[in-house]
Chains A and B, each alone.
Chain A
Amino acid sequence: MQSKVSSVQKPAVPVFKGFEWRNYIVYFAFVGVFIYFSISLFDEGFLTSGNLLNIVRQTATISLMALAMTFVISTGEIDLSVGSIAALSSLVGALALQAGYGIIGGLIGGVGTGLLVGLINGLLVTKIAIPSFLVTLGTMGAIKGLAMWVTATAPVPIVDANFNFIFGSGDIGPIPVLLLWTVIFTVIAHVLLRKTSFGRQVLATGGNESAARFSGVKTMKIKLYVFLGTGMMAGLAGLLYAGRMNSGRFSFGEGDELSVIAAVILGGTSLFGGVGTIIGTIVGSLMIGTINNGLIIMGLDVSQQMIIKGIIIILAVAFGKKAMKR
């Protein structure tokens, strides 16, 4: 940021501070992590195109949910129920397919389930004014329970090869369909946040809710929409889990809220609302995927991965806190 000389003291932003470290930290971190694994796990085949495409496949579900979560966090709210929604949606989608409703039926079932839960979350937050943390903590448990209950914890196999292709293991030429899903929704989310009045109003709501209301933003409506967004995307993520694993299962998405929130915060979206970035989110998500992948190749198990992810979230927020002090 170059400051022009003027008669009155300009904003006190020295030249060096103008480069906001925090906004770019995720890119440096991603490159750092990538180089580290490339060298240390070279012999284990980290850098092969097969493994890299694998990272993309494994990350797609997190990425889609993180895109929607960026909007929620930008309004200053949070949605902890995404993982549970993904689980229930994978089952509803699989059951719809099993009952012969076809791919469209499965899609409507899965995404519809997500939208319904998102609607419940949104209405509880906006109409009854319960903090979103508590609302979604509640629905996280309730929806998970529901997912376990529908089939008495039994998985539902999916035999429809087309479904499994479109929502999971398919490749178009060298490109995995899951990569396409990710790219398409990243572009949509980016345009939505940066280039539409909806996105602007999301950021305004999170930046200063009462000021936004005074400027004519219907903040309650905006909040309802962002929860519908995470519901819908978590529902779609559930279908992607189902397509990749050829089944619906209550355990899908377990602990995903942690990865999703970490991806968004790492990406540079402010947990206090008002600042959001889709590109940052997607890089954050890829970084989490890369770390997961690297740790698996290194031979660490799920529990150790969870420890590392938890630490990453705390570090990310700690780094962000200084910059966010107003």
Chain B
Amino acid sequence: MLKSQFLRTLLAAALFVSANLVNAAGPIKIGTFLTTTGPASFLGDPELKTLQMIVEDINAKGGLNGRNVELIHYDTGGNAREALNFVKRLIRKDNVDLIVGGTTSGDTLAVIPEVEKESIPLISLAGAVEIIEPARKWVFKVAHTDRMAAAKIFEDLRKRHLTQVALITGDGGFDKSGRAQILKLAPEYGITLVADESYGNKDTDMTTPLTKIRATSAQAIINFGFGQAPAIVTKNIKQLGIGLPVYQSHGVASQTFIDLAGDAAEGVRLPAAALVVAGQLADTDPQKPILLAYKKAYESKHGPVSTFGGHAYDGILIAAEAIKRAGGTDKVKVRDEIEKTQGFIGTAGVFNMTPEDHMGLNLDAFKMVEIHNGAWKIVE
């Protein structure tokens, strides 16, 4: 009788210990909500593939702090309300330790109140400066902002002593946000906007607004947008024989743009992440080996890399480093460690976060590139 009592106690103790062991060895759960279908799917698709690739890699190398990483993903389809629902599910049902994601600014901005309320670290992959301005306790981001792109273009204009600029933008969210930043920053750089024209992103001909620009005293043209519209603008500029320098945004920093615009793209300049010109960086550039390694790993599986996949790379690795330094998944500790990220070399640049700056990139993260013989060339 006594013996069986003892055995039972022993069994209970064993169960308790093993349950504890399982708990300690259970996976670290990283949640993500991306736009892998719908109009922004060409952004979310490489992001998800990159996250899966990195998680696989981390697990193959023994995980983080001896624990495997589990990625839990939901597709928002670019619908902000869905994004919020999925984030609630990630937090309450899946009990994730941290969230990486929000492909678009709209998705990210929609979930910020929830993330702040539930006190869980979020690393966004979207562009809008509003995500980190003002700095919120739990929200970080890794993608360049449109304000940085505008500033980089203005710096280059100043170097070329061009002060009269014509602006032409589409009717999408990215276009409008970029336009706002350009209008805001122009006076700081002593630049006068002599035209502010617009078009629809689905239009097939932009010669009408460009004809109006031709009649102004503009010395350069800035076009802010992504997709096929900037390529049509570039072709129309050539068609109309407007021989002015043309600046595009980081939204078209992909081979697709060169393919679409053809020889009209020659001489077009734009700010782009170093990933686009990885092979041309100086060998001393600390980013170079990282960019080439990511490019090789991604391209061996999925085809050409994009800067958007690069943002996912930066996001999840910053998270992984923070979890390692925090020695666990305590949310407050992980958050503090993300904020202390210093000298992290990612695909978008070198990250130095502070309590005031939850992105930590400076203008050097952008390279000014020019299209030359159908390929990118750094002009610094």
Q: Do A and B associate with each other?
A: no
Task: Show the binding face of A for B, using Cβ within 8 Å.
Answer: none
